[in-house]
Every structure is written in C-alpha cells, then in structure tokens.
Structure 1
Amino acid sequence: MLLIFIGMLLALLAWVLSVGIEHPQVLPPSRTLISKADIEMEGFTLKQIRNGAVEWDIKAERAELFEDRKEVLLHEMQATLQTAEGLQVSFSGDQGLLNTGTHDFEIKKNDGDLDVSMNNGFTIRTPSLSWKDQEREIVSLEPVQITAQRLRIRGNQLVVKLENQQFTVNGDVHVTAEP
C-alpha cells in the first residue's frame, strides 16, 4: 500500500513538473523573484569611481545578487550621488534594485516618501526614484515635491540632470514662492 502511495506521489510530481504551474506575476519578469539569489550578504557597499572620483556610493543592510539577471536586490539602502562640481545628493529607502550591467538603480519606501537631500539647498520628496547612470539623471514617475528656501514645487513626474542641476517637473505642476 505504501509503495502505491509513493508511486502516485511521484507520478503527480512528474506531471506537475512537466506541465508547470502558472503563478500570476505582480512585478515585471525581471523583478519577479522566482529563483533563489546566487549570493546573499549582510552589510553591502558598492562605489562607482570614475577618473579617480567617487560618482556614487550605495550601502545596504542586506543584498541579494541574481547573476543571471544582473540585478542586486537591496534592503534598507542608502545612496549618495556626487558630481565633479561638488553637488551631493543623498537618500535612503526600504528597498532598491541595482542593475549591475547598466549601473542604473531604483529605490523606494514601503510607507511614505523618500527624502532626497541635496547640498545645494533643495529637498525632494517622492515615493520612489531611479538613477539612470548613462544619462546621469534622477527620475521619478510618481508625485514629487521639491522644496528650497521660500520655494515649493509639486508635480507628477521629475527629471533632474545632475551635471547642470536642471530640474524638469511635469504633470499638474504647482509652484509656491514666498517673498
């Protein structure tokens, strides 16, 4: 009787493996964590250095590397971006995703907004943002609020070109300036 039961279990397992089980995907295919990480680590730090200067620095309490997808899933991360002109941009979030091929990364908070601090006096608040390394741009496709001394700007999307500190806010833009 036990052999028949084991045989039926093996047959069922073989059928499931041959047919497959479909699961709805919540994230796009590159973001779905179907497989186990190739490497998991505590205390992750990565710096990008170009021409002898640190361009950006990422730290995370925990990281999971998926080599085949060229992605690192980051938990409790902090990042600092720097330009040759001295602009420094710092932010932290609950989760991040780094593409090891392009050096682009995304960061988000699970609750509330990211606080993005810039040493030029601007602060940005948004639920998530992306760093586009090739373009050297910060992008948010979600509602944003930018504040500086006596200035507040709100909109639905943001692109910041770091090299020339150019801000582009799109979608339902509101500007409040105090005298």
Structure 2
Amino acid sequence: MNGVGKKKLILPLVLLLGLILGGLGLYYYINHLLTTPIELENIEIDDKAALKLNALEQISKKNGITEWKLKASTATLLKDQNKAELKDVDIIFYTKQDTQVHLTANHGALDTKTHDMTFSKNVTIHHQHYTLRSETLHYAKKPHIIRSDSRVEVDDENSVIEADRMTIMLNQELIILEGNVEGRFSEKSQNSNLL
C-alpha cells in the first residue's frame, strides 16, 4: 500500500475511533446521571395526612337535586379519621326554591361520611342583599341547616342585626336568631325576610 492509500484508510479509522470513544463517553455520562441518587431538601412530611390535594371541588346531591357545591384551595384527608381539612373554602348552598346561599371561610372541616361541615375564621355568607358574618358556622347535611353558636352579625347596608346564636333552615328559607339580639335599622331597610 502506498502513502496515499494509507492516508485514505487512516482518516476513516480515526473518525470511527473518535465516534466510538464519544459514544462511550456519552453512555457513561447518561448512566451516571440516571444512577446518581437525587437529594431532596426542605421536604415537609405530614404524618397525619393520608392524602393532600392542591384543589378540591365537590358537589353534593340528594334525590338528584344539588344541595351544595364546594371548592377549596387545599384539602388534607386525615389518616384513621373520616375528616378532610380544607383551606380557602368557597361553597354555594341551594334552597328548595333553588336560590343560592354563598359561604366563604379561611378554614373548613368536612366529615367524609356524613358530609357535615364546620367553617372557621372570617366566615361570611351572602344571600341576595344580606351579608352574615361569624367566626364559626356548622352545616348539618341531613336536615340541610347552617347554625352558629358564636356571635353573628347580619347586615343589608341599611340595617345591622346581631345575635348570640343563629340557625338557617335552608329548605324553609328561614333564619332564626337567638340569645341577645340587637338591631340598628334605617328607614331605607328592606321589608323582606332574611332568606
């Protein structure tokens, strides 16, 4: 073989050797990335939670009729309990007359078997032109009522009523105020039922 023939043969062999070495290097690099354990930092483990959801939407129906629609920014289902802890709760209750009662609260707890609920911190209910505020409210699904054993305030921009306790019977569109009930009324106050 002459010198020109050797050069033509050496160049492809050098290129082939370079490709093989590059392929082996790439193989070992990828293998290293896949087999190196990943270190996780700043992980919080909630040993009470069985499941944690970043968003929850649930609808409750009775005999095909929607009773409420619930949204929460987070829901934590607790181990060994029939309970879900909710944050940033937004729920719409429906009456038999299909009017809407809108409730918001910072926190909530849902019994996953009975669907009874408790709401706390900045609890507000809006219905038509009325606004009700309380620190805690309880919802009982079976009778479809909302009640509060803490102080409540109901206003319609022109009047304010405060009471020690309250029950809202959603199916009857009736609100019952109990305890020390006080009110401030304006001549512009509405002459209608609260619900």
Change in Cα spacing, 1:67 to 1:80, as seen in structure 2 (3 Å) is farther
CA drift of 1:165 comes to 1.7
CA drift of 1:135 comes to 1.6
Q: Are 1:56 and 2:68 matched, yes or no?
A: yes
Work out which of the two has the higher radius of gyration on C-alpha atoms and give 1 or 2: 2
Whole-angstrom CA distance in 2 between matches of 1:39 and 1:125: 31
Q: 35, 41, 53: which is aligned to 1:41?
A: 53
Whole-angstrom CA distance in 2 between matches of 1:35 and 1:137: 34
Q: 84, 95, 107: which is aligned to 1:95?
A: 107
CA drift of 1:67 comes to 5.2
Whole-angstrom CA distance in 1 between matches of 2:139 and 2:101: 11
Identity of aligned residues (%): 23
5+ residue gaps, structure 2, are: 1-45, 188-195
Whole-angstrom CA distance in 2 between matches of 1:141 and 1:135: 17
CA drift of 1:151 comes to 3.3
**Amino acid in structure 2 at the alignment position of 1:123:** T
Within 5 Å, give how 1:7-46 maps onto structure 2. Answer: 35-46=47-58
Whole-angstrom CA distance in 1 between matches of 2:82 and 2:123: 25
Runs of 4+ in structure 1 over 6 Å off: none
Deviations 1:40-85 (A, max 9, x none): 1111111102233321011111111125321111111111101230
Q: 152, 161, 173: which is aligned to 1:165?
A: 173
- Which secondary structure state, in structure 2, belongs to the residue aligned with residue 69 of structure 1? coil
- What is the match of residue 124 of structure 2? 115
- What is the match of residue 130 of structure 1? 138
Whole-angstrom CA distance in 2 between matches of 1:171 and 1:83: 26
TM-score (norm 1): 0.73
In proportion to residue count, which structure has more strand?
1
Length, aligned pairs only: 142
TM-score (norm 2): 0.67
